[in-house]
């Protein structure tokens, strides 16, 4: 009871701070980042470096895969999803609900937080088999191509994240499948890492798009089905506390919090990736995937941890 009272008191204090000093529009206005679009054939270290220093909200790499390679991997993963895909549940005020996204394989953070050594070993055995299958793939696997690209072009190269205890690798990423109709029509706004932006480091995602829903598969009045929306936004620790009622909603799945975010955030940047494109973005900025009525979105997603002077770490 005492802690509930304390928590209610803290929330009331943060709400009164936000009412007096909060200003989300100013946090957005201070971030003038745009999307950098480059063809895969001309991608260079300077493009990656400017993304990693947060000078762009996203790096959209066109033609990373050929149309035939995208279609071939998309159909392989669609077929496997029927048997293997897992839907990770999200916590809301109504309890656990299924998210729009199903993955093939276990996310690295879920594996790392499992205290059972036997289950951790089983995860790493599964990853070893998957990596061997990528090396044996008759056409280069997109995750292998992504790792090569990041190793070649990142200032300090790229390596798979390894378990601190066993030194065995986590997977480089996971296939993600979303099938319409999606639960969130306009998309689920969130950040994957709530830390303030820091020019010397960051958490990024890399998505290789294998298949997108049709252009006319959107819900009424909501354009860009399956596209990405990113909100330029930059805040310090102090800004976070002055705007806590809105910014803390960025890690919440509650419909009420999503409504608060939609009302408060302005001026999103839209990206409509096509099959074969690669999009990298800093997941510390608010973002969402726009929902759709029908069809299936298939992508391969990795997370990247980038820090100045160190190799980029890739995992799922
Ligand atoms: Fe995300």
Does residue 7 lie in a domain region?
A: no
Check residue 303 and give its pLDDT: 97
How distant, in Å, are the alpha carbons of 121, 162, 230 from that of 168? 9, 5, 34
Q: Measured in angstroms, how far is the CA atom of residue 45 from the centroid of ligand 1?
A: 24
Does residue 2 lie in a domain region?
A: no
Q: Measured in angstroms, how far is the CA atom of residue 288 from the centroid of ligand 1?
A: 7
Q: Measured in angstroms, how far is the CA atom of residue 101 from the centroid of ligand 1?
A: 11
Q: Measured in angstroms, how far is the CA atom of residue 22 from the centroid of ligand 1?
A: 25
Q: Measured in angstroms, how far is the CA atom of residue 6 from the centroid of ligand 1?
A: 31
Does residue 10 lie in a domain region?
A: no
- Distance from chain centroid for Cα 114: 22
Check residue 19 and give its pLDDT: 82
Per run of 10 residues, the mean pLDDT along the chain (length 316 residues) is 66 83 87 92 97 96 98 97 82 63 90 90 96 95 98 96 94 96 93 94 98 97 96 94 92 88 93 98 96 97 97 96
| Integer Rg of the chain from CA | 20
Q: How far apart are the first and last CA of the chain?
A: 39
Q: Measured in angstroms, how far is the CA atom of residue 301 from the centroid of ligand 1?
A: 10
Check residue 90 and give its pLDDT: 62
Q: Measured in angstroms, how far is the CA atom of residue 190 from the centroid of ligand 1?
A: 6
Q: Measured in angstroms, how far is the CA atom of residue 192 from the centroid of ligand 1?
A: 5
Q: Measured in angstroms, how far is the CA atom of residue 13 from the centroid of ligand 1?
A: 29
* CA 281/CA 191 separation, integer angstroms: 11
Q: Measured in angstroms, how far is the CA atom of residue 9 from the centroid of ligand 1?
A: 31
Does residue 200 lie in a domain region?
A: yes
Domain that holds residue 276: 34-315
Does residue 135 lie in a domain region?
A: yes
Count how many domains the chain has.
1
Sequence-distant (6+) residues with CB within 8 A of 117 are none
Q: Measured in angstroms, how far is the CA atom of residue 85 from the centroid of ligand 1?
A: 19
Does residue 4 lie in a domain region?
A: no
Does residue 84 lie in a domain region?
A: yes
CATH number at residue 192: 2.60.120.620
How distant, in Å, are the alpha carbons of 172, 191, 254, 287, 312 from that of 154? 16, 24, 37, 24, 7
* CA 279/CA 290 separation, integer angstroms: 15
Q: Measured in angstroms, how far is the CA atom of residue 103 from the centroid of ligand 1?
A: 14
Does residue 25 lie in a domain region?
A: no
Answer whether 0.85 is exceeded by the pTM.
yes
């Amino acid at each position: 009871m005492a802690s509930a009272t304390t928590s209610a008191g803290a929330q009331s204090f943060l709400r009164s701070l936000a009412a007096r000093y909060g200003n989300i529009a100013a946090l957005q206005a201070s971030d003038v980042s745009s999307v950098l679009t480059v063809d895969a054939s001309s991608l260079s270290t300077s493009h990656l470096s400017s993304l990693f220093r947060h000078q762009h909200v996203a790096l959209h790499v066109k033609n990373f895969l050929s149309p035939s390679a995208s279609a071939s991997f998309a159909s392989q993963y669609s077929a496997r999803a029927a048997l293997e895909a897992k839907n990770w549940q999200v916590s809301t005020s109504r309890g656990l609900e299924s998210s729009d996204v199903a993955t093939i394989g276990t996310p690295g953070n879920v594996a790392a937080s499992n205290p059972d050594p036997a289950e951790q070993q089983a995860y790493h055995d599964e990853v070893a088999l998957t990596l061997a299958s990528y090396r044996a793939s008759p056409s280069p696997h997109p995750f292998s191509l992504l790792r090569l690209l990041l190793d070649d072009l990142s200032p300090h190269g790229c390596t798979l994240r390894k378990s601190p205890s066993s030194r065995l690798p986590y997977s480089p990423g996971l296939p993600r499948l979303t099938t319409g109709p999606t639960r969130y029509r306009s998309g689920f706004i969130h950040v994957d890492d709530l830390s303030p932006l820091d020019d010397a480091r960051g958490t990024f995602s890399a998505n290789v798009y294998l298949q997108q829903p049709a252009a006319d598969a959107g819900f009424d009045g909501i354009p860009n089905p399956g596209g990405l929306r990113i909100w330029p936004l930059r805040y310090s620790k102090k800004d976070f506390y002055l705007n806590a009622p809105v910014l803390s909603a960025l890690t919440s799945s509650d419909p009420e919090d999503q409504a608060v975010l939609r009302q408060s955030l302005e001026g999103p940047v839209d990206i409509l990736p096509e099959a074969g494109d690669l999009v990298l973005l800093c997941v510390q900025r608010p973002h969402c995937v726009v929902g759709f009525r029908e069809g299936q979105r298939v992508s391969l997603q990795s997370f990247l941890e980038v820090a100045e002077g160190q190799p980029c770490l890739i995992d799922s």
